[in-house]
Amino acid sequence: MKVYVDEDGDKRLVGRADVPENCGPVLEVPVFGPAAPSIVEVFTVGTVTHLLEGGGAPVVERAVLAAQGQLVSLLPGWASLAS
């Protein structure tokens, strides 16, 4: 699933993670592994809408929506965009 960071209402694509499409609206990722499940980073899973150049119907995709400063590297299978 693609991962976006919300920057003042604008969503910037930063990478992708191994998050199943059928997960719920909240994704809890253990910070210190499974031994301490009460310490988690909470991510929102929502939708991002893209308007195509030249018109046409908007494209909507499910994605992880991280807040500024969230550690997206904690997401399972995290891969940042190549720079």
The letter for the amino acid at 83 is S
Please give the structure tokens belonging to residue 39: 């310490």
pLDDT tens digits, 25-76: 999 888 875 665 678 899 999 999 988 888 888 999 999 999 999 999 999 9
Q: Is residue 80 part of a domain?
A: no
Indicate whether 76 belongs to any domain: no
pLDDT confidence tier of residue 17, bands split at 50, 70 and 90: very high
pLDDT at 83 over 60: no
In terms of residue numbers, what domain contains 21? 2-69
Q: Is 5 helix (H, G, I), strand (E, B) or coil?
A: strand
Residue 3 near residue 16 (C-beta atoms within 8 A): yes
**Chain centre distance of CA 24:** 12
Whether 13 is covered by a domain: the verdict is yes
**Residue 82: pLDDT over 80:** no
Entry pTM: 0.84
Contact in structure between 61 and 50 (CB atoms under 8 Å): yes
CA distance 62 to 51: 15
Structural domains in the chain (count): 1
